[in-house]
């Protein structure tokens, strides 16, 4: 018995050491994997030509006018991939795009998004819109390959960068403002103070990431939206995007399935 106890203690120590070592190695590989994915996110994904996008869009009966994209968790780091998805939307003729993440990380990276858009396809004008705490719009106009030639008109795309403060926070701010002003409250007055006022509701909202949730996406705009899900932004392929648009065109709602 005197020998067995130290032996068991030694075995326990060795087992504990091996488990700790294995967990440490796993954590190191996970950190390395995240680091490599972050680097990969800044590499420009393969572009689909504008002619291909327009040709594919011509085969679809119904194209949404407004698409919302809810970016969940670490997917906010893949900005280059997000710009690619925006280009797909624009190539299909979508006029309004709302990019939403709860914590406003994409809004903080607005200058990078504008820069990446500015280096993109020719012949589009973007209004990149964010809102301050007083619900006032801050616009950055990006003209991509647009020349000031007489008689030339270029498509105008509205890109909203939104966060939780533009959803529930916006409603709280509007309610406080109307109460302070002592105004009679009606739907038109409330609507006039809301973010994305004057824009159509998004017909399609795509959640990117896990868990599948809208994370407080503007509640007054999502009532009739068709919801779709994509697990990862860096694995969001053009074929996935086309499938979503085709299902929307056939009124096949897919969310949480």
Average pLDDT, the chain: 80
Cα 23 to Cα 10: distance, rounded to the nearest angstrom: 20
The domain locations on the chain are 42-249
pLDDT at position 105: 93
User: Looking at the predicted structure, is the pLDDT value of residue 157 above 80?
Assistant: yes
Under DSSP, is residue 252 helix (H, G, I), strand (E, B) or coil?
A: coil
Cα 207 to Cα 68: distance, rounded to the nearest angstrom: 8
Q: How many CB atoms lie within 10 A of CB 22?
A: 10
User: Looking at the predicted structure, is the pLDDT value of residue 135 above 60?
Assistant: no
User: Looking at the predicted structure, is the pLDDT value of residue 172 above 80?
Assistant: no
Cα 86 to Cα 160: distance, rounded to the nearest angstrom: 11
Share of the chain above pLDDT 70, in %: 74
- 0.85 cut: is pTM over it? no
Which range among 2-11, 77-86, 137-146, 214-223 has the greatest average pLDDT? Answer: 77-86
Please tell me the CATH superfamily of domain 42-249, with its number: Decaprenyl diphosphate synthase-like (3.40.1180.10)
pLDDT band with cut points at 50, 70 and 90 for residue 26: confident
pLDDT at position 250: 87
Checking 129-138 for CB contacts under 8 A at 24+ apart, the result is 129/158, 129/159, 129/160, 129/161, 130/160, 130/161, 130/162, 131/162, 131/165, 131/166, 131/170, 131/195, 133/165, 133/173, 134/173, 135/170, 135/173, 135/174, 135/193, 135/194, 135/195
């Amino acid at each position: 018995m005197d020998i067995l106890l130290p032996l068991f203690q030694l075995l326990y120590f060795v087992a504990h050491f091996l488990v700790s070592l294995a967990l440490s190695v796993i954590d190191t590989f996970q950190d390395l994997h995240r680091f490599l994915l972050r680097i990969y996110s800044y590499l420009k994904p393969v572009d689909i030509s504008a002619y291909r996008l327009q040709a594919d869009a011509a085969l679809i009966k119904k194209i949404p006018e407004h698409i919302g994209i809810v970016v969940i968790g670490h997917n906010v780091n893949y900005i280059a991939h997000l710009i690619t998805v925006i280009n797909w939307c624009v190539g299909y003729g979508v006029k309004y795009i709302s990019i939403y993440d709860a914590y406003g990380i994409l809004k903080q990276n607005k200058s990078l998004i504008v820069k990446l858009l500015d280096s993109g396809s020719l012949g589009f004008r973007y209004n990149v819109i964010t809102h301050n705490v007083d619900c006032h719009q801050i616009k950055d106009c990006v003209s991509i390959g647009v020349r000031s030639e007489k008689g030339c008109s270029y498509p105008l795309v509205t890109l909203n960068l939104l966060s939780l403060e533009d959803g529930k926070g916006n409603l709280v701010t509007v309610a406080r403002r109307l109460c302070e002003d002592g105004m009679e409250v009606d739907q038109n007055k409330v609507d006039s103070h809301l973010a994305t006022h004057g824009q159509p509701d998004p017909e399609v909202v795509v959640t990117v990431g896990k868990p599948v949730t809208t994370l407080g996406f503007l509640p007054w705009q999502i009532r009739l939206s068709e919801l779709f899900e994509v697990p990862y932004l860096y694995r969001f392929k053009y074929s996935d995007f086309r499938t979503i648009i085709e299902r929307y065109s056939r009124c096949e709602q897919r969310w949480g399935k």
